[in-house]
Structure 1
Amino acid sequence: MKCFLCKSDHGSPNNLVKHLKIIHGLCTGRTLFLKCGQEGCSRSFGSFSGFRKHLNKCHGESLVDSIEDDLSDPQSTVNTSNISHVEVSTECLEAESELSSLYIVNSCAAVISDLKAAGVGQSTVNTVVISMEEIVQDIHQHAKETVIKHVFSNGRETEMCKKVEACFEGLENPFTVLNSEYKRSKFMTAKWEIVEPVECVIGSRFDTRRNKKTGTYDQVVVQDKFMYIPILSTLQSIFKSQYFAEMLQSSATSNSRLRDICDGSFFKSHPLFSTEKQTIQVQMFYDDFEVANPLGSKRGIHKLGGVYFTLRNFYPKWNSFFG
């Protein structure tokens, strides 16, 4: 099984998926993109389960054939009589364990970020994280008790049993580092470089307000403010991803079909876009929304206006996600 990123070979679909998760840090989510790296196959997938099923169904026979060829090759036969001991590098095992723990934490953080992106309230996110923390803790405890019960049934005071108990006790609960808003914000900022909003002042105006002490109405100066997420910092964060950078370079127009504005005569004759093929296309639009009443944008006094932008260089499926 060949990795589509580094072209390395792996013995089975499970080993390949583990390699993609731990070595390349791919996490489950809406932005997951997997390609089948096997020869002659151009399928792509958005989930590890679909990717694994495809490898087992479509490329499982080739894997069995390669194993049979290796077993039938006289030069590949191993003389087990000369092997007395197999040494396993402790450093390699510790490094792999550390990477596995890091991947699990990253996967949990990706799930939480999907909940926040879907508009789930902060209190609901906290409840879900705390509940998952308890569930994982119960699973760890149940697994430890089951292993000790069936493997060390003769006695729990042996040195090996104590090592196994210490191993289970050392397992880190991935939701523990994400069980508060402060921890989640700190973790996601360090990992994904979240661009924080900036408060900006539009200008000042006079507003009439009632003085509660005197009962009179006074003219007071009020500053009109808005929250702004810097576009330049957002673009810098986006294009640190190699996948999105390659998508920008591969964007091209079509001479035979009209798919979007890039295929029209206005775009092809534009003084900038017609000469600079790698130019970032920023499309901005405005929309009102009601924060207290979901039935309409102008049905109450708690309405806000939002300015959004999308990148036309992206494939339509990404703009449908982020737009």
Structure 2
Amino acid sequence: MAWLCTLCQRYIAGCYGNVLQHVKCHQYDENFQLKCGINSCQETYTIYESFRSHVYRKHREVLHPSGSVNNNETLSVDNISNSETDDDDINNVPDYNNDPDDVSSDSSDNDDQMEHSAQNKPDLKSSAARLILKLHQECKVTQSALNSMVNGIKELWKEATQELQEQTERVLGRYYTEKNGKLKETTDCSYEIPLLKSLQHLLNIEVIREQVMNSHSRPNSVLGDYCDTTAFKESELFNEHPCALQIQLFYDELEVCNPLGSKAKKHKLGLVYYTLGNLEPKLRSSLKSIHLLSITKHQFVTKYGIDHILSPIVEEIKQLESEKGVQFLFDGHWVAFRGTLTVFSADNLAAWSVGGYKALASAFRKCQYCMVTAEQMQTQFVESDVQIRTPETYNYHCNEEDCNDPSLASHLATTYGIKVLHQT
């Protein structure tokens, strides 16, 4: 017995399991609606997963019928052929009447619809399957031509991703490891998007360029943005160039796997984002205004130091801070822009990592704002009762730890609550 897909009226297979797999390619079609029709079943569905569950529960016998001679005769996405089907077999296809008034479902089917509705989203795999079916059925492309096209697209995609990887990859270090008695070269890498190139694309957007050229500082004394702060008003750069670029960086660490599983920390990543402080807060808070700069495995951040990871970004910011600034191309004209880092934000753990502070719960001094000890933290809660860390004291502590005596450096790191920042 031959089974026909009633949605496209083209796909025919001897096994209904193949038809069920094919129907999945139509699940994102507009106004998707399918009546079961198996053994005169009148159940109608608008969600593929609910229909599939219904078939497995009520009509499992048609999925892999025993003794059928046509089980392997199919026009599938992976193996499209030009096999012909007898007219008698086509005439034996059950009557599918897509009448929307006959929509009905039992309570378990409704539960399946609610369960799988969140999964009803387009994906690349189904889009590729629909494209292959369309090329074969509507454009009459042969199977050999389809195979050549798919192989060519795979090679093109591989080359494109390889080129993109080479453009963003930065080698942090190379070393050799022994495996099965053989030396194998291992490369530690991070992936970075140049800040200046990203700014070039952003400033070519007219809306963003208008925001940069027009300051949004408030004329009253209300403090609502960096433009309203004393640091902005007293800055020599922003006094001379009110339209200078305000780079705001954000660093965060995240787990891409289960943080409680066996792979915890192995796939942990450190990411650096930036946004332009020149944009109004309502525009700056949009996800489209937050841009990625760097992705690095956390183990590499610990191994090579955060200074090494951030060094390319720091160098590009120094170019913006120089007297000549950086030239950006607009409509065939080069325009010089200056800028600087105005805000660096992070959560507690990431801030400790960037600042070089000890992040362990057992650390003697674990606060990044003051010199309070772990014991004093239980009784002292007022700022006037503790010694506040300042840039001067921070630099002094770092210079003290930069010594040739490892034992003394370890003692000072415990005393000051700052890890040795200088990586060798």
> Relative to total residues, which structure has the larger helix share, 1 or 2?
1
Larger radius of gyration: 2
TM-score w.r.t. the length of structure 2 is 0.29
TM-score w.r.t. the length of structure 1 is 0.37
Q: Which has the higher contact order (CA 8 A, sep 6+)?
A: 2
